[in-house]
Amino acid sequence: MERQEQTPTRLMRYDAGEISEVDDRLATEEPLEIRLKVGEATRSVAVTLRTPGADLELAAAFLFAEGIVERREEIRSLGHC
């Protein structure tokens, strides 16, 4: 399934007292669940909304920012479930 960074939409535009319908695009947001696997145990760490793309980098940065990992070497692998 191809992910889209934009979602087509139709909206009402108000300009100088006139209302018109126009096509537009909105940034797509989808949830991303970040899971942490230690040994055989897996647990959900967080669910965040993001524009699709660069999910693995986002997950790694999240783990670092939250203090779950302190160094890059602590992450053995990243992948999609």
Tens-digit pLDDT profile for the chain (81 aa)?
556 778 899 999 999 999 999 999 998 899 999 999 988 999 999 999 998 889 999 999 999 999 999 999 999 999 988
Q: Under DSSP, is residue 81 helix (H, G, I), strand (E, B) or coil?
A: coil
Q: What is the signed CA dihedral for 64, 67, 72, 77, rounded to 10 degrees?
A: -80
How far is the C-alpha of 76 from the C-alpha of 78, rounded, in Å?
A: 7
Q: Is 1 part of any domain?
A: no
- Does residue 44 form part of some domain? yes
Domain of 13 in residue numbering reads as: 6-74
- 30 assigned to some structural domain: yes
Residue 81 included in any domain = no
- The pTM (predicted TM-score) of the whole model is 0.69
Whether residue 11 is contained in a domain is answered as yes
Is residue 79 a part of any domain in this protein?
no
Number of domains in the chain: 1
